Chains A and B, each alone.
Chain A
Amino acid sequence: MGDGGSFRKILVVAELKGDAIHPVTLELLGKGREIVEHIGGEVCSVVFGCNVNKTKASELIEYGADKVFLFNDPVFSGLNTMVYAHNLVKLCKEEKPDIVLLGATCFGRSLGPRVAAALKTGLTADCIDLRMDEKGELIQIRPAFVGNILAHIKTRTKPVMSTVRYKVMRARDRDKGRSGLIVEKNAEAPPYGSIRLVGGAIPKKLNIADAEIIVSGGRGLGSPEGFRLLEELASLLGGVVGSSRPPVDDGWIRKEHQVGYSGSIVKPRLYFACGISGSPQHLFGMKDAETIVAINSDPSAPIFRVADYGIVGDLYQVIPLLIKEIKARRGIKC
Chain B
Amino acid sequence: MLNIIVLVKQVPDIEKVRFDMETGRIDRSSAPAEINPFDLNALEAALQIKEKLGGFITALSMGPMQAVNSLRDAMARGADDAILLEDRRFAGADTLATSHTLAAAIRKIGSYDIILCGEKTVDGDTGQVGAEVAELLEIPHIYYVSRIVNVSEKSITVVSETEDASYVLESDFPVLVSVTRDVNKPRLPTLKSKMKAMKSQVKIWHAEDLSGFLEPDKTGYAGSPTSVQKVVVQGEKTRQGRVYRQVEEGLAELIRLFESKGLI
Contacts and interface: CB of A to CB of B under 8 A. Distances in A.
B251 interface: yes
Nearest to A293: B254
B205 interface: no
A150 B234 contact: yes
Contacts of A279: 15
B250 A309 contact: yes
B53 interface: no
A291 interface: yes
A153 to B, nearest CB: 5
B229 A204 contact: no
Interface string A94-134: 00000000000111011011111110111111100000000
B122 interface: yes
A126 B126 contact: yes
Interface residues of B, number: 84
Contact of B181 (A17, A154, A262): A262
> Which A-B residue pairs are the 8 nearest by beta carbons?
A193-B140, A122-B225, A311-B250, A122-B226, A117-B135, A308-B240, A113-B131, A310-B243
Contact of A150 (B123, B170, B232, B247): B232
Classify the secondary structure of B's interface with A: mixed
Given A156-B225, A293-B257, A196 B232 contact: no
Contact of A203 (B164, B225, B233): B164
Interface of A: 17, 79-82, 85, 105-107, 109-110, 112-118, 120-126, 139, 143-157, 192-199, 201-204, 207, 209, 213, 237-238, 255, 261-262, 264, 269-270, 279-281, 287-288, 291-293, 299, 304-313, 317-318, 321-322, 325-326, 329-330
Interface stretch (B1-9, B81-89, B94-102, B104-112): B94-102
Nearest to A118: B135
B231 A149 contact: yes
B236 A330 contact: no
Interface string B230-257: 1111101101111111010011011101
Given A150-B232, A192-B139, A195-B171, A204 B240 contact: no
Contact of A143 (B17, B182, B234): B234
A147 B235 CA distance: 11
A322 B169 contact: no
